[in-house]
Amino acid sequence: MQEDLLSNKVDEFEEAMKDMYLIFKVDDQLYGIEIKYVIEIIGLLPITYVPNQEEYVKGIINLRGKIIPVIDARMRLSKPQKEYNERTCVIVTSIDDFLAGIIVDHVSEVAVINKDQISSLPQTYEKIDERFFRGVASLNERLVLILDCETFVKPDRINL
């Protein structure tokens, strides 16, 4: 009986997590990634530069004994570089046991966004790298670009 109750609670939790997104900002634009990929959010740690990486791969950090690569969301999205500040943080993600950090300007909130709230991006922009995006959602009258965390975080080439 108690095991059934626990199993039901786990199922309910997994179902609720399915539509949850971590919303963060880069410049004045909101982006969202599925919460299932998020391990934790940390302040900026010292980054060790590793040569011969893509420009957006800033290097590696030591997170409690685990060495993980960090990418700069701003650079991955072809935005101009900006000095990090006290609101800059790292979203630690896990995708198929691949840990990586995403440096963002700041985290805004966790929001529920149902699949029917996500629309395709309009085809009017030639330079949109569609492999990064699942679509766009309206959240409290603000547009949130929904990122495909797997293609966004897993670099085309990492030589670590």
What are 10-64's pLDDT values in tens digits? 666 666 678 999 999 999 999 999 999 999 999 999 999 999 988 899 999 999 9
Predicted local confidence at residue 97, as pLDDT: 87
What fold, for 1-153? OB fold (Dihydrolipoamide Acetyltransferase, E2P) (2.40.50)
pLDDT at 74 over 90: yes
State the Cα–Cα distance between residues 155 and 93, nearest whole angstrom: 13
Which conformational region is residue 91 in: left (phi greater than 0), alpha (psi within -120 to 50 degrees), or beta? beta
Distance CA 30, CA 143 (A): 7
- Say what the pLDDT of residue 108 is: 95
Ordered by start, the domain boundaries in the chain are: 1-153
Beta-bridge mates of residue 89: 43, 104
Q: What is the pLDDT of residue 11?
A: 66
Nearest residue to 31 via CA among 152, 124, 126: 152
Indicate the average pLDDT of the chain. 87
Share of the chain above pLDDT 70, in %: 82
pLDDT recorded at residue 129: 62
Single-letter amino acid code for the residue at 120: S
Q: How confident is the model at residue 120 (pLDDT cuts 50, 70, 90)?
A: confident
Residue 86 burial by CB count (10 A; 0-12/13-18/19+): exposed, middle or buried?
Answer: exposed
Give residue 92's region: left, alpha or beta (phi > 0; psi -120 to 50): beta
Res 46: pLDDT? 95
Of residues 127 and 121, the one with the higher pLDDT is 121
Which one-letter amino acid corresponds to residue 123? Q
Q: What is the pLDDT of residue 137?
A: 95
> 136 with 143: CB under 8 angstroms?
yes
Question: Which pLDDT score is estimated for 40?
Answer: 97
